């Protein structure tokens, strides 16, 4: 592993976990670091980075900070069909195509059809969803089903369309193009936000677009970048603002060091805590929770 400096401010002397728990945490972080190092040195492809680095890292954050309320889902498959829409962005989806209602499009006029549009055919790799294994979330999903309002997701997959999604991840190996990953991420988060806007309108829950701010992640090799997305206005057919990367708050987030991986675990923990925060400052308490509860009423 080599010599890696650790700042005194990195140490948490008030941590009350047992030696066995801390040792297990250290081993998990070390494994992610070694896997990332091997992926870089071995010129491994995007699948290897996803399987050996990203998924273990996010699952570690879920284990430490998720309180049993999160599920990480692989949602990649390229879309094969095209649909004219009025949206401004487009698509995300592992064997899970996006519902065409939420796809974005760009102008593609032809002599015979000057108004023709085509969808932006991209993909996202992973999403976070509110876990059906959590008793409270599971009970909410059951009430939504009883109210015939169970389709709260934006893919066509029979399972995922019945779970509430949060954030998404676009992943490339170190040779991948950051701009391509940014496009993939923006397309996925836009579809997610449009679906949530539609749900809010159906539930008759008023909202401001800024209350829907949702983080999204672009990962290119070692480097993890955080973006923020929110609708341009309240109409579900509208555009989406995507801002970032946020280097001011987070600096350079990377799996090329043990310290960097600990920083990433804590950062992803913060995202999870924001997503399930039931206070007015949290995503669940401020927006998504009231919307789903209103839909679930008999």
pTM score of the predicted model: 0.88
Phi, psi of 129 (to 5 degrees): -135, 155
List alpha helices for 204-257, DSSP H: 247-250
Per-residue pLDDT of the chain (298 residues; tens, 9 = 90+): 666 777 777 778 788 899 999 999 999 999 999 999 999 999 999 999 999 999 999 999 999 999 999 999 987 644 433 334 444 333 333 457 777 788 777 677 778 887 777 766 566 789 999 999 999 999 999 999 999 999 999 888 899 999 999 999 999 999 988 999 998 899 889 999 999 999 999 999 999 998 899 999 999 999 999 999 999 988 777 788 999 999 999 888 999 999 999 999 999 999 999 999 999 889 999 999 999 999 999 8
Q: How far apart are CA 286 and CA 142, in angstroms?
A: 22
Number of Cβ within a 10 Å radius of residue 64: 17
Q: How far apart are CA 106 and CA 143, in angstroms?
A: 38
What is the distance in angstroms between the CA of the first residue and the CA of the last residue of the chain? 58
Radius of gyration of the chain (CA): 20
Number of Cβ within a 10 Å radius of residue 199: 22
SS3 43: coil
Query: In DSSP terms, which residues pair with 220 in a beta bridge?
Result: 172, 223
pLDDT at 145: 97
Region at 183 (left for phi over 0; alpha for psi -120 to 50; beta for the rest): alpha
Q: How far apart are CA 101 and CA 81, in angstroms?
A: 13
Q: Which helix (H) or strand (E) holds 119?
A: strand 117-119
| Domain boundaries defined on the chain | 27-79+124-296
pLDDT at 3: 67
Phi, psi of 290 (to 5 degrees): -60, -35
pLDDT at 123: 67
Confirm if 110 and 59 have CB atoms less than 8 A apart: no
Q: How far apart are CA 217 and CA 272, in angstroms?
A: 13
Query: In DSSP terms, which residues pair with 219 in a beta bridge?
Result: 171, 224
């Amino acid at each position: 592993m080599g010599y890696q400096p650790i700042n005194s401010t990195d140490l948490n002397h008030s941590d009350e976990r047992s030696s066995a728990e801390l040792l297990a945490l250290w081993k998990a972080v070390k494994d992610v670091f070694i896997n990332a190092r091997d992926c870089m040195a071995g010129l491994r492809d995007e699948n290897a980075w996803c399987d050996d680095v990203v998924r273990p890292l996010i699952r570690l954050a879920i284990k430490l900070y998720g309180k049993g309320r999160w599920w990480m889902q692989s949602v990649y498959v390229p879309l094969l069909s095209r649909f004219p829409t009025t949206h401004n962005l487009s698509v995300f989806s592992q064997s899970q195509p996006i519902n065409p209602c939420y796809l974005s499009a760009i102008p593609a006029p032809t002599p015979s059809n000057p108004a023709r549009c085509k969808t932006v055919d991209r993909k996202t790799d992973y999403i976070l969803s509110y876990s059906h294994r959590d008793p409270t979330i599971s009970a909410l999903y059951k009430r939504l089903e009883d109210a015939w309002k169970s389709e709260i997701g934006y893919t066509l997959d029979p399972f995922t369309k019945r779970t509430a999604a949060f954030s998404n991840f676009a992943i490339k190996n170190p040779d991948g193009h950051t701009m391509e990953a940014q496009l993939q991420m923006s397309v996925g988060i836009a579809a997610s936000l449009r679906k949530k806007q539609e749900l809010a309108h159906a539930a008759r829950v008023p909202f401001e677009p800024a209350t829907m701010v949702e983080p999204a992640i672009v990962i290119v090799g070692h480097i993890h970048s955080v973006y923020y997305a929110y609708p341009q206005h309240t109409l579900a057919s509208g555009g989406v603002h995507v801002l970032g990367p946020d280097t001011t708050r987070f600096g350079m987030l990377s799996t090329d060091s043990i310290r960097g991986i600990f920083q990433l675990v804590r950062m992803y923990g913060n995202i999870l805590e924001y997503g399930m925060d039931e206070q007015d400052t949290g995503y669940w308490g401020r927006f998504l929770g009231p919307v789903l509860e209103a839909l679930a009423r008999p």
